[in-house]
Amino acid sequence: METQIHGLTEKIADARSQATGQLQALSSLGDVQEWERAWLGPKGEITTMLRSLGTLPKDERPVAGRETQALRQELETAFAPIRDRIEREALDARLEDERVDVTLPGIDPQIGAIHPVSRMIDELVEIFGQLGFQAVFGPEVETGRYNFDLLNIPADHPARDVWDTILVDDPTAEIVMRTHTSPMQARTMERIDPPVRVIVPGRTYRYEAQDASHEWMFTQLEGLAVDRNITMTDLKGVLQEMARQLFGPERRVRFRCDYFPFVEPGVDFAVDCAICSGKGCRVCKQSGWLEMGGAGMVHPNVLRGVGYDPDEYTGFAFGLGIERIVMMKYGVDDLRIFNTNDLRFLKKFATAAVS
């Protein structure tokens, strides 16, 4: 009996000196975990000792139990501050390691800008909005009926060839990439009764050899007003107001006779050059005038085609190229640059347009 108790006391003393000795040598987080597992963990030395108490004679168990528990207490108390210190040191080292110098200059993000053509569309929608026009949008893939027939361009009419049309799929079905925004004239009038006052910004397509002023895809703005007693004076007033808002209050508008099957009379219209006030310069190619597009009084056949009575209603229509306006306003001399995604151009342009 004596010996067994004695044996246990020795065992406890051994464990104490071993455990506390190791404790002093701990230096890493790994050491800490290892030590805790070996001595205090569920499979650690102390637990094993407590478990083995059952093998002692009954009357020795309480003493042995108390001493083992006392050792556990002692070890826990000694361990806690050492563990805390090592954990704190490890955290400090990690923070030091991952230190970020927030005073270093950052990398400038690339900031996008609205494309010059989109910006011009916004400007035009705003200008015409003030004049009572609503912006509507239509399909870029059209039928021959809307792109031509309802615009008074019958199938066998030579004018059909004026537009170098890109056909989609089967030529007999005559599904086309719209060659102009004019098809939205009929689409709009079919949907609503007069008064009609709409503008149609959008992309148009032509089978075209590309050069500085021709692209196979470009953007137009169509305008249409139909009501009782609409005259060419209204057309001129509206276009003049647009020119003033775009190019300044002094601007004048010029009409010259022109032919488009869907208007009668038809005109082309130009604005006197804002850069040289009509004297002649590089931008207006010495002519003093900037050609903007076509216009006229809606042809009676077009009105009839959508079920409007041409004796009751009259209207005007116009169409212009949006890229052209941007080019005139900002002195850009090559149409192709709008779609080449050249950031140098787009950036320069974005700043120029803002100022």
- Give residues in contact with ligand DAH (CB under 6 A): 180, 182, 222, 260, 263, 293-296, 317-319
Active site residue 180: yes
Asked if 261 contacts 151 with a C-beta cutoff of 8 angstroms, the reply is yes
* Rounded Cα gap, residues 207 and 140, in angstroms: 14
Q: Which of 176, 253, 263, 283 is catalytic?
A: 263
Query: Residue 148 CB, nearest distance to ligand DAH (Å)?
Result: 11
Query: Residue 318 CB, nearest distance to ligand DAH (Å)?
Result: 5
Q: Which of 72, 83, 178, 180 is catalytic?
A: 180
* 196 φ, ψ (degrees, to nearest 5): -115, 130
CA nearest neighbour of 316 among 196, 214, 213: 196
Q: Give Cβ neighbours of residue 58 (< 8 Å, ≥ 6 apart).
A: none
Instruction: Give the strand pairing for 134-135 and 196-205.
Output: parallel
CA torsion, points 196, 201, 202, 208, in degrees to nearest 10?
100
Q: Which of 238, 317, 326, 332 is catalytic?
A: 317
Query: Residue 324 CB, nearest distance to ligand DAH (Å)?
Result: 12
Q: What angle, rounded to 10 degrees, do the helices at 61-97 and 2-25 form?
A: 10
Active site residue 286: no
* Rounded Cα gap, residues 341 and 344, in angstroms: 9
Query: Residue 244 CB, nearest distance to ligand DAH (Å)?
Result: 21
Query: Residue 231 CB, nearest distance to ligand DAH (Å)?
Result: 15
Active site residue 220: yes
DSSP state of 264: E
Active site residue 254: no
Q: Which is nearer to ligand DAH, 318 or 349 (CB)?
A: 318
Q: Which is nearer to ligand DAH, 36 or 241 (CB)?
A: 241
CA torsion, points 138, 141, 144, 145, in degrees to nearest 10?
-30
Active site residue 163: yes
Instruction: Specify the DSSP element, H or E, that contains 292.
Output: strand 289-298
* Rounded Cα gap, residues 12 and 70, in angstroms: 10
Query: Residue 224 CB, nearest distance to ligand DAH (Å)?
Result: 7
Q: Which of 160, 187, 203, 206 is catalytic?
A: 206
* Rounded Cα gap, residues 24 and 173, in angstroms: 92
Q: Which is nearer to ligand DAH, 67 or 268 (CB)?
A: 268
Q: Which of 163, 186, 196, 267 is catalytic?
A: 163
Q: Which is nearer to ligand DAH, 79 or 260 (CB)?
A: 260
Q: Which is nearer to ligand DAH, 68 or 182 (CB)?
A: 182
- Specify whether the backbone of 286 is left (phi greater than 0), alpha (psi in -120 to 50) or beta: left
Q: Which is nearer to ligand DAH, 278 or 315 (CB)?
A: 315
Q: Could you give the residue numbers annotated as active site?
A: 163, 180, 206, 220, 263, 317
